[in-house]
Amino acid sequence: MATALPARLPERYLTPEDLCRIFSVPLETVHHWRKKRTGPPAIRIGKHLRYDPAAVHAWTTQLTDAA
């Protein structure tokens, strides 16, 4: 999965839908990553999931280094 990140991630926390757009994957894939703990770490804010852009970047770097 060698997907290039945008030149710059947003400053705000990312939603699951943002990850779908960034990686061109369906929402079910993002939920599967979370369920299996294979994706970037998420935090829960109230009833909403959010992803720290720095953690998403670190996750993609880790995937790239492992490939």
Task: Return per-residue pLDDT of the chain as tens, 67 residues.
Answer: 555 666 666 678 999 999 999 999 999 999 999 999 999 999 999 999 999 999 999 999 998 888 7
The model's pTM: 0.79
The confidence score (pLDDT) of residue 36 equals 96
The confidence score (pLDDT) of residue 17 equals 97
Helix 27-36 with 16-23: angle, nearest 10 deg: 110
Angle at 55 between CA 52 and CA 58, to 5 degrees: 155
